[in-house]
Amino acid sequence: MNLKIDKNLFDLTAQETRDLFDRRPSDEPELQELVRKLLGRVRKDGDRTLEAMAQEFDGVILEEMEVPRDRWEDALSELNPELRSNLELAAANIRTFHRAQIPEELQVTVRPGVTLGRRAVPLPRVGVYAPGGRAAYPSSVLMGVVPAKAAGVGEVILCSPPGPSGMPPPEVMAAAAIGGASRLFALGGAGAIGAMAYGTDQVPAVDAIVGPGNRYVTEAKRQVAGDVLIDSPAGPSEVLVVADADADPRLCALELICQAEHDPDAAVALVTDSSTLMGAVRNALAAEVEKAPRREIVEAALETQGALVLAERWEDVLGFARDYAAEHLALFTANPRSDMEAAQTAGTVFLGQAAAVAYGDYITGANHVLPTGGLARSFSSLSTLHYLRMYTWQEITADAASAMSEAVERMAESEGLPGHAEAARARKQTT
């Protein structure tokens, strides 16, 4: 087992620090150009390009780009009953939490006769991307589709890569039925993002695109963000475990492996002020990697973006957590709520050792679509707000309009806009 970084915080070189905090891939310029070309192909040739991409990248010939609804229903009826019950419980929890996020209409009287309001309305159509490839992710289907339905979105378009059969995995199709998707397409990668952003003969253009994906999906979302709303650049999985001397080394190691097994590009790190704990975690991690079913992927992630970091003071531990800005922040500490206040730059925070990140990935109801690559400093987790559009309204009485007219005239004339000034002047009341 090799880790990219295993050292004292203050021994990190400037380059190592940059690599930890800015986790974008080194070949990003090449990736950007490739994705730009792929999106261009989709815009130009639409469905024909999507079919070619499925053959090129997924190794399948698409007989049907859109998955018929009866295939979803068959997948749902054939699903393991216990798994179905688990997915339905997850969907119920997601629905409950996300419905509670819908903001009430705001109405404020800023001065006599001037009342302002802000109202949220659902987007007409959104696109949800559920990744595939190395594994099936019905949980990501629920995390994207269920909040959209809770927000009142009219049409939910779901895209997920085709498997060898030319269809998404049965678990994904079943989750589409449980979540309430409107349409399902067997499309993956940057091509799926381009299809939802710009539309093709078969795939309708959407108003927003949400959902996690690999580097190509993440870059495609960045590039279409000027044309449609996106949630955040949610790329390969990440976790930062913040642990004190009393943390359980094996639980710490398991948290690192849980996210590392997603993707060779996953970023996993632990920071502590206890050299004893760090040594114990190192040993536990080696033991768990040895028997991990997805060992090859885990080892690749640890070598690429794995880190064990030792700090001298607890303040430095929390400072590192703020700067790292992880997708998932696990606080295995004596005072996790207090530590959360000191280290808030994360997509989602897990308080205490009982709160395994896996629970949030699947069943608690909080969303697992989260900003990665350090972008939790700026972006938020996927929420109901991503499916809503806000607009304001303004009500002004005749008396209030008259009282404000001279101020508006003066301000408009100072900006050289006489039409604005005249519009205000026309509402001035004379006595």
What is the biggest distance separating any 2 CA atoms in the chain, rounded to whole angstroms?
89
From the candidates 51, 219, 299, 327, give the one annotated as an active-site residue: 327
**Residues 229 and 206: beta-carbon distance below 8 Å:** no
Which two structure tokens, joined as six digits, stand for 379?
């972006």
Q: Return the number of other C-beta atoms located less than 10 Å from residue 358's C-beta.
A: 15
* Residue 51: active-site member: no
Spatial contact of 57 and 189, defined as CB atoms under 8 Å apart: yes
How far is Cα of residue 419 from the mean position of the Cα atoms in its chain? Answer: 45
β-pairing, 229-230 with 155-159? unpaired
Contact of 250 with 284, CB cutoff 8 Å:
yes
C-alpha dihedral sign at 399, 402, 407, 408: positive
Distance in angstroms (rounded) separating the CA atoms of residues 155 and 145: 10
CB atoms within 10 A of CB 131: 23
Torsion of CA 57, 62, 66, 68, to 10 degrees: -130
Residue (of 306, 329, 314) closest to 244 by Cα position: 314
Q: Tokens 């070309």 sit at which residue?
A: 37
328 is catalytic: yes
Residue (of 57, 54, 39, 46) closest to 193 by Cα position: 39
Gap between the Cα atoms of 4 and 308, Å rounded? 9
Both tokens of 16, joined, read 């190592």
Q: What is the DSSP letter of 65?
A: S
Q: Which of 51, 261, 262, 328 is catalytic?
A: 328
Structure token pair of residue 396: 């002004």
Residues marked as catalytic: 327-328
